[in-house]
């Protein structure tokens, strides 16, 4: 209500700070709970039919504002022949892809973040392929190895001002493994 109804900029600023802090805390708690579920073997993948365009729309809606706030260009490269519908856990798919896109935006100082979606067929089955590309600084081989260690972040001197706990990619890799997939870095 304060953000919507207050006319005082300083009050709105304080309310926005509280909102952002609350969101960060909630995200951290959710990541810890998800990691705990994975470690306990209690994380469930719940497959269902979902529409590809709905997943894309959710991703675009969330990431566009984050990219624009950093003066980045957000592009979508979606295979025009991609099936309209897939079967899988679309909630986890959105969580995984948002994590990758959010990291790309966080660690890219200028340029472009691109979401690429395509598919491959194996027999009569279709498999969604998702890639996130950015114009960030890139990662050394050692940094690539450390990406999946829980609570480990990249060099603190260069990433100190970037929010995060170091759980996101560990969680992403584990969710993908649970789904019979994997995360590849180039």
34-85 tens-digit pLDDT? 777 777 788 888 999 999 999 999 999 999 999 999 999 999 999 999 999 9
Whether the pLDDT of residue 24 is over 80: the answer is no
Backbone angles phi, psi at 179, to 5 degrees: -90, 5
Helix (H, G, I), strand (E, B) or coil at 20: helix
Give the confidence band of 164 by pLDDT, cuts at 50, 70, 90.
low
Helical axes 52-69 vs 90-106, angle rounded to 10°: 20
Residue of higher predicted confidence among 137 and 158: 137
Whether the pLDDT of residue 3 is over 80: the answer is yes
- Per the listing, tokens 């340029």 go with 111
Structure tokens at 141: 């081989």
Residue 160's pLDDT is 47
Highest mean pLDDT among 20-29, 55-64, 170-179: 55-64
Neighbour tally for 67: CB within 10 Å: 21
Q: Answer for the pair 108, 75: CB distance below 8 angstroms, yes or no.
A: no
Specify the pTM: 0.78
Whether the pLDDT of residue 128 is over 50: the answer is yes
Whether the pLDDT of residue 163 is over 90: the answer is no
Query: Mean pLDDT lowest for which of 70-84, 153-167, 172-186?
Result: 153-167
Q: Answer for the pair 12, 6: CB distance below 8 angstroms, yes or no.
A: yes
Structure tokens at 1: 């209500």
Task: For residues 57 and 52, give the distance between their C-alpha atoms in angstroms, rounded to a whole number.
Answer: 9
């Amino acid at each position: 209500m304060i953000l919507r109804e207050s006319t005082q900029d300083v009050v709105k600023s304080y309310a926005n700070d509280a909102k952002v802090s609350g969101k960060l805390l909630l995200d951290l708690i959710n990541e810890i709970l998800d990691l705990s579920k994975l470690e306990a073997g209690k994380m469930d993948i719940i497959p269902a039919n979902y529409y590809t365009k709905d997943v894309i729309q959710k991703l675009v809606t969330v990431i566009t504002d984050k990219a624009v706030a950093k003066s980045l260009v957000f592009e979508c490269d979606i295979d025009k022949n991609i099936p309209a519908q897939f079967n899988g856990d679309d909630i986890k798919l959105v969580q995984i892809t948002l994590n990758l896109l959010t990291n790309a935006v966080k660690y890219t100082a200028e340029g472009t973040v691109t979401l690429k979606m395509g598919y491959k067929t194996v027999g009569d089955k279709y498999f969604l392929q998702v890639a996130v590309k950015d114009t960030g600084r890139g990662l050394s081989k050692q940094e690539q190895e450390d990406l999946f260690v829980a609570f480990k972040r990249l060099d603190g001197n260069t990433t100190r001002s970037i929010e995060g706990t170091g759980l996101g990619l560990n969680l992403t890799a584990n969710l993908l493994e649970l789904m019979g997939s994997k995360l590849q870095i180039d």
